[in-house]
Structure 1
Amino acid sequence: MTRTTRMPRTTRMSLPSVLAVDAGNSKTDVALIAADGTVLGTGRSGGFQPPRHGVEAAVDVLGQAVAEAVAAAGLPAAGPGSPYAARVSACLANADLPVEERRLADAIGARGWGAATDVRNDTFAVLRAGVDEPRGVAVVCGAGINCVGMTPDGRTARFPALGRISGDWGGGGGLAEEALWCAARAEDGRGGATELARALPAHLGHNSMASLIEALHLGGVPHVRRHELTAVLFAVAAAGDPVALSLVHRQADEIVAMASVALSRLGLLDEEVPVVLGGGVLAARHPQLNDRITTALTALAPRARITVITAPPVLGAGLLGLDAVGSPAGAHEKLRTHFG
């Protein structure tokens, strides 16, 4: 559900239509967009992590990208009652629950960047970037995993996407953890043999899982490097290792489950409808993953049109903003052309 805040009518004439914000855990992209879809300026800043840094500090990070976009557009600094755009369209990581969307909409709205502020989870940006109208389902499998759906009448389908406590499995981080678990048990005899027991430690410069486990536990390997192990898992699976392949297949089945449930909730399971796949794991187009998704989802939703999206999600945030202000189709196409 979108959360919207409004501020008093601006005194500035001829505002740009949309200040689009796409904020993920690792980076934030902002685009200032005119009514005809022209991109007037863009900006980039760091990751958006309210759970770690607090809401106000996280919004400060957004503000750095906003300031860069405004400067690139040649606009003067905003003052009280003088926002940068008619509407802020913000698609944010960590906006997973309605209460989080409300808090973030209030915090961003208080900055005065737009005459109105819409806040959604960042998966909606991926979905809108991959469809011609606000109708369809998207699954993102990057560092984590999430799924959303929408229809033009405003209905949505979504999941809390809070990890195992909300029933989620996988994503790049989750796959790396599962691969380590299987490799550890293979080496000490509790689990079946797998090439992962050799390949994972070798990738990080160790000669055994025991050595790698010690390094991970004592901080000898930076936590961020664990995500590299997802690519190792897929390479081992591609070579035919049954344990690695079982993890990849389970990830595919989880993605199909999320997409089919979202389609069912929106009454789209039997209709011709786009299903957009996004995020680094899916954008890599591993055949063992993506082909299984296509086969299984087509069996459940025969008319679904499955695509992989690689356009920047800030495009989707911008399109959602143009939808909200009633821009003509030509503006949407101009914005798509800008982002390639």
Structure 2
Amino acid sequence: MNYYLGVDAGGSKTYALVTDDCGTIVGKGQSGNGNHQLNKAEARRNIWEAVGLALKQAALTREDIAFAFFGMAGADREADFRILRPMIAEMGFARHEIVCDTMIALRAGTDKPYGVVLICGTGTNSAGINRQGESLQCGGFSYLHGDFGGGGALNVEVFRSVIRAWDGREEPTLLTPLLLEELGYDNVQAMFDDYLDHDRTPPIRVAKLLFTAAAKGDAVAQAILRKQGEELGKSAQAVIRRLGMTEETFDVVLAGSIVTRGEGEFVSAYVAQAVAAVAPRASIAKLRIEPVVGAVWMAHEAAKGMLPQTVYDKLKDITDYNEIAL
């Protein structure tokens, strides 16, 4: 019997799963931040811990693992891989691979080993793999470097829209009473002064107010979400064109709270329009499966050259890592 390890190392948590040849989960491990860009020493320690816990539960050693696949936040550029390659190599897995965590999210969201993924949670990112195995990342580096949106930017859009409505530069918006209630202010003047005097930044959670206001017909909120959808659509178009996928049939996987929540159609509808314009055979799919499952599937594929249907079927319904019972 062979065994396979998948790891999802993110900025707030690291998940590890071990399965056998049939896709049966035999071990799992969880720890904290696995992003070296946030804290290299902490990331290394947490990745080792999560993997160690999974192997211990499975009663296996590193030598028992046929392939280990690591999806890692912050694995964006060659400069990152120069840090990550030795970090993972020292773990002692004979066969392993490292990719950006966008790629395991893509694999978890489709039944194909190729496609496009758009991430829109706290930040945004996009990536793709074509049939030939060529991969590409587009964005994920900040507003200065071409990105727009995610909760870490939409929160500012909410705040400034309320300010602009208050001082007369924009039309009134339902975001005003929603934001005042969320932040605990009696009026916009008090909020404006407090934030300006103390150099505050609105919390990321206020981005959710866009969906509440948009659902009630608020034009300001709808326009912001439309811009988010159009920007994600541009990223998808760039990946599709550059990977030569315009005539292909594949999934565009949407991942992250801004595009997967129930009200996400305020964003995803514009993504779908942009994708259809350049790749009419593509389909939109929202990520429902834990990304670490994508890492496990990619470990099987890397070792076997393909993913057995039985392995896919056994893991395709895992929507919450914490609900995995052994």
TM-score, structure 2 length as denominator? 0.89
What is the match of residue 108 of structure 1? 88
Alignment-derived partner of residue 61 in structure 1: 46
Asked if the contact 2:174/2:218 (under 8 Å) is kept, the reply is yes
Given the alignment, which residue of 281, 298, 308 partners 1:329? 308
Determine the C-alpha separation between the residues in 2 that align with 1:295 and 1:132.
Answer: 22
Q: CA deviation at 1:295?
A: 3.1
Task: Report what 1:182 is aligned to.
Answer: 161
Matched, 1:99 2:84: no
The 5 Å alignment of 1:65-76 reads: 65-75=50-60
Checking the alignment, whether the CA contact within 8 Å between 2:233 and 2:270 is kept in structure 1 is: no
Match of 1:31 among 14, 17, 23: 17
Aligned residues between the structures? 317
Q: Kindly state the Cα deviation for residue 85 of structure 1 after the two structures are TM-superposed.
A: 1.9
Cα separation, 2, equivalents of 1:100 and 1:191: 42
Q: Quick one: structure 1 residues 140 and 64, their matched pair in 2 at CA, closer, same or farther if it must change by over 3 Å? A: same
SS in 2 for 1:90: strand
What is the match of residue 36 of structure 2?
A: 50
Aligned pairs for 1:152-231 within 5 A? 152-213=131-192, 215-216=194-195, 226-231=203-208
Partner of 1:273: 250
SS for the counterpart of 2:94 is strand
Runs of 4 or more, structure 1, over 4 Å off, are 213-221
Give the whole-Å Cα distance in 2 for the aligned partners of 1:296 and 1:69. 41
Q: Secondary structure at the match of 1:52?
A: coil
Cα root mean square deviation, aligned: 2.3
Asked whether the equivalents of residues 105 and 117 of structure 1 are also in contact (C-alpha less than 8 Å), the reply is no
- Partners of 1:39 and 1:335 within 8 A in 2: no
1:302 matches 2:280: yes
Report if the CA contact (8 A) 1:96-1:160 is conserved: no
After superposition, the C-alpha distances for 1:172-196 in whole angstroms (9 at most, x for unaligned) are: 2111121112222222334443222
Q: How much has 1:71 moved relative to structure 2?
A: 2.4
Asked if 2 retains the 8 angstrom alpha-carbon contact of 1:25 and 1:93, the reply is: yes
Q: 1:255 to 1:29 in 2, by over 3 A?
A: same
Instruction: Give the Cα–Cα distance (whole angstroms) in 1 for the partners of residues 57 and 316 of structure 2.
Output: 19
2:35 and 2:72 in contact (8 A); partners too: no
2:106 is aligned with 1:120: no
Q: Give per-residue Cα distances to partners, 1:37-90, cap 9 Å, x unaligned.
A: 22111111122232232x232111112211221222133xx5xxx545232211
| Contact 2:126–2:139 (CA under 8 A) maintained in structure 1 | no
1:290 matched to 2:268: yes
Q: 1:255 to 1:36 in 2, by over 3 A?
A: same
One-letter code of the match for 2:234? A
Distance in 2 between residues matched to 1:215 and 1:34, nearest whole Å:
56
1:1-47 per-residue CA deviation (whole Å, 9 max, x = no partner) reads xxxxxxxxxxxxx662x221112222211101223322111111122
Amino acid in structure 1 at the alignment position of 2:220: V
Deviation at residue 284 of structure 1 after TM alignment? 0.6
Q: Helix, strand or coil for the counterpart of 1:311?
A: coil
- 8 Å Cα contact 2:130/2:245 also seen in 1: no
Q: Distance in 1 between matches of 2:66 and 2:197?
A: 51
8 Å CA contact 2:114–2:133 kept in 1: the answer is no
Q: Is the 2:23–2:310 contact (alpha carbons within 8 Å) kept by the matching residues of 1?
A: yes
**Which residue of 2 is the match for residue 247 of structure 1?**
224
Give the unaligned 5+ runs of structure 1: 1-13
2-structure distance, mates of 1:335, 1:211 = 55
The one-letter amino acid of 1:251's match is: Q
Distance 1:255 1:60, change over 3 A: same
SS in 2 for 1:115: coil
Relative distance call for 1:84 and 1:207 in structure 2 (3 A) is farther
Is contact 1:202–1:208 with CA below 8 Å preserved after alignment?
no
Supply the distance in 2 between the matched residues of 1:296 and 1:333 (Cα, whole angstroms).
Answer: 30
Distance 1:215 1:73 in 2: 53
Please say if residues 247 and 280 of structure 2, whose CA atoms lie closer than 8 Å, have aligned partners that are also in contact. Answer: yes
**Residue 220 and residue 313 in structure 1: after superposition, are their counterparts in 2 closer, same or farther (change >3 A)?**
same
Does the C-alpha gap of structure 1 residues 328 and 187 become closer, same or farther in structure 2, counting only changes over 3 Å? closer
> How many Å apart are 1:96 and its aligned residue?
1.5
The 2-side partners of 1:164 and 1:276 are apart by 22
Q: TM-score w.r.t. structure 1 length?
A: 0.85
SS in 2 for 1:119: strand
